[in-house]
Amino acid sequence: MKISMYQASVPVFIRLLNNLAAILDKAAAYAEAKKIDPKVLINGRLYPDMFPLARQIQIATDSARGGAARLAGVEVPSHEDNETTFPELLARIRKNIAYLETLKPEQFEGSEDRTVTWQTRSSTKTMQGMPYLQFHVLPNFYFHIVTAYNILRHNGVELGKMDFLGKS
C-alpha cells in the first residue's frame, strides 16, 4: 500500500500537536498544584543556549503549518510569536490544528516531486517535496516537540512516553 504525502504529514502533525496540548495541560496543572509560577516552566530551557519552552512550541507549530502549506502549494499563514502563558500556547496549538484540518489530500498530490523553497534566518533553501518532508520538516517538528517534552520533564512534570506518543 502506498502512503500519500498528505497521510505522511497532516495526520502526523495533528496527532502530535494534540499530544503536545495534553502535555501542556499537565504542565499547567503541575504548576498550579506545586504553586510554581507558570513562567518558570514557559521560560525553562535545557541549556542556556537553547530556546525556552515557549519558543520550542512556536517552532513546532511553525514547522507543521509551514511544511504542510508548502507541500500543499499554498501560502504559509503567518502567526506572531508572542505567547507567554499556557492558555496562549494552547490557543496557538489549537489554531494550527484548525489550519491543518482545512488542508485536503488532493492539495498534496504530486508534492513529492514539487520544488519547495523557504527562507531560513540566514538563507533561502530549496528541496524536492519528498526529501523536504522526510529530512527537514518531520525531523525539525519532532525535535522541537521532544525538546518541549524534555524541558517539562526535566522540571518535574510527571510525563511518560505515552504522553508523547498519545493514545492509539
Q: What CATH number is associated with residue 101?
A: 1.20.120.450
What is the pLDDT, as a whole number, of residue 1? Answer: 67
What is d(CA 93, CA 134) in angstroms, rounded to the nearest whole number?
22
For the stretch 106-142, pLDDT in tens is 999 999 999 999 988 899 999 999 999 999 999 999 9
At residue 45 the predicted structure's pLDDT band, cuts being 50, 70 and 90, is very high
What is the pLDDT, as a whole number, of residue 58? Answer: 98
Mean pLDDT in residue range 55-65: 98
Domain that holds residue 62: 5-165
Task: Give the 3-state secondary structure percentages of the chain, helix then strand then coil, rounded to 5.
Answer: 65, 5, 30
Strand extents, DSSP E, the chain: 115-119, 124-128
What is d(CA 124, CA 134) in angstroms, rounded to the nearest whole number?
19
For the stretch 98-113, pLDDT in tens is 999 999 999 999 999 9
What is the pLDDT, as a whole number, of residue 167? Answer: 83
**pLDDT surpasses 80 at 168:** no
What is d(CA 155, CA 43) in angstroms, rounded to the nearest whole number?
11
**Total structural domains within the chain:** 1
**What average pLDDT is seen over the chain?**
96
